[in-house]
Amino acid sequence: MFPLEDPGAVIASLPRWIGAIPQQALLLVWMRRAGGWPRVWMSVEGVSRFDVLGSRDLAALAEIAEVVREICVTRTPDAACVLVVDAEVPDSPIGAYRDLVSVLDEQLAHNNVLLADAWLIPTFDPGRRWSSLRGDRHGVLPAVTPEYRPHPSGPLAEQLAHHLTRLSVTDNAPADAGEARDWLRGRVVFVLRRVYELHAAFEVTAADLAEVAIALRHTAVRDCCYGLAVSSYAEPALAMWRLLWQTLPHGHRAEAALLLAVSAYLAADVALATAAIQTARIDNSDPLATRQIADAIDHRLPAHVLRVVAQAGVRQAATLGIDLV
């Protein structure tokens, strides 16, 4: 939670929501009032990222308007903030950005959401200056602990992206029910073996990790894998989901992030669970599961709420002849 009069703290918390740090981007930060008096404390509920940086890009503005309408209806945020990231600061067109903020203010007001503030930064590096786009306030960004921030970069991430593209076109379950059951069992067993190999310090290749990630796209495979959170392999499973969460490219992290969120929450690592569910919200390939798991984590519900999800995974795996206990 953050007081709105401390923009530096709010801005410094955002990289965990967006993964790779952009050189130019517009971020809409959705916020929920978290109480407090006389200071108003807010919590970040989500971040929408756009590449548009001008008020004259009508197609991009139409896209933003559609996202604003959808989020205001489905999430009913209490407020929103705008952050413009432009590595060209101080040579960036501040006037144009202020015009853009005015357009966004009108769109949000039309949907009964307050635009609480708007800022401009060159980078997220600690010590860099932030400037208000709604006044003359400014300050510097504080240092943050990056412990729970995913870093989809480096050789492994590049190899994963390559293998995902290659494997995605061949990953289809058989139409025949009997064959589909055998196929499903094979996919779950494949994931379990990779978890075991990671635990035993065997080499797990980028191709293997990509195949695990693709297997997890199938709801039935993923549902079984939730069961690992209450098995003797809970710790190595969490390590696998965390590795995938940290190295998969954007748009492909949701499934691993959901599994990580459940595993971390049941391991009493609420900070990691919170960071993971933030990623699941961004990539959002399974809106229903994301919403249900996010509700449990956001409201700090008792662990048994998510343990039920894991235990259901144990039972589903058992129907395939796989014992996770």
- 1 lies in a domain? no
- 282 lies in a domain? yes
- 218 lies in a domain? yes
Spell out the residues 6+ positions from residue 89 whose beta carbon is closer than 8 angstroms to its own.
Answer: 120, 121, 122, 129, 131
pTM for the whole thing?
Answer: 0.57
Which strands sit side by side in the sheet containing 24-33, from one edge to the other? 2-3, 41-50, 24-33, 79-86, 114-121, 129-132, 138-140
* Rounded-to-integer distance, Cα 82 and Cα 48, Å: 10
Q: Are residues 210 and 305 in the same domain?
A: yes
Q: Are residues 114 and 25 in the same domain?
A: yes
Q: What is the CATH number of the domain that holds 110?
A: 3.40.140.10
Contact of 107 with 65, CB cutoff 8 Å: yes
Q: Are residues 64 and 164 in the same domain?
A: no
- 150 lies in a domain? no
- 307 lies in a domain? yes
Q: What is the CATH number of the domain that holds 174?
A: 1.25.40
Q: Are residues 22 and 132 in the same domain?
A: yes
Neighbours of 315 (CB within 10 A): 12
Q: Are residues 115 and 25 in the same domain?
A: yes
The residue to which tokens 């025949």 are assigned: 176
Q: Which of 88, 113, 141 is the last residue of a domain?
A: 141
Alpha helices in the chain (DSSP H): 7-12, 15-18, 58-74, 94-110, 155-168, 177-199, 206-215, 219-226, 234-247, 254-266, 270-283, 287-298, 304-319
pLDDT of residue 148: 45
Beta strands 2-3 and 79-86 are: unpaired
Range of the domain at 129: 7-141
Q: Which of 97, 119, 141 is the last residue of a domain?
A: 141
| The pair of three-digit structure tokens given for residue 67, joined into one six-digit string | 């996202």
Q: Are residues 160 and 184 in the same domain?
A: yes
- 231 lies in a domain? yes
Q: Are residues 177 and 303 in the same domain?
A: yes
| The pair of three-digit structure tokens given for residue 3, joined into one six-digit string | 């007081």
- 44 lies in a domain? yes
Q: Which of 93, 108, 141 is the last residue of a domain?
A: 141
- 222 lies in a domain? yes
Residue pLDDT tens, the chain, 325 long: 555 677 888 888 787 666 667 788 899 998 877 554 445 667 777 788 887 665 556 677 788 888 888 888 877 888 999 999 988 876 666 788 888 899 899 999 999 999 999 999 999 888 999 999 988 889 999 875 444 444 444 577 778 888 887 776 555 665 566 678 899 999 999 999 999 998 888 878 889 999 999 999 999 999 999 999 999 899 999 999 999 998 888 888 999 999 999 999 999 888 789 889 988 988 877 889 999 999 898 888 889 999 999 999 999 999 999 999 8
Q: Are residues 188 and 233 in the same domain?
A: yes
Q: Are residues 87 and 162 in the same domain?
A: no
Q: Are residues 252 and 202 in the same domain?
A: yes
The residue to which tokens 């600690």 are assigned: 126
* Rounded-to-integer distance, Cα 275 and Cα 290, Å: 13
Count up the domains in the chain and report the number.
2
Q: Are residues 125 and 198 in the same domain?
A: no
Q: Are residues 181 and 256 in the same domain?
A: yes
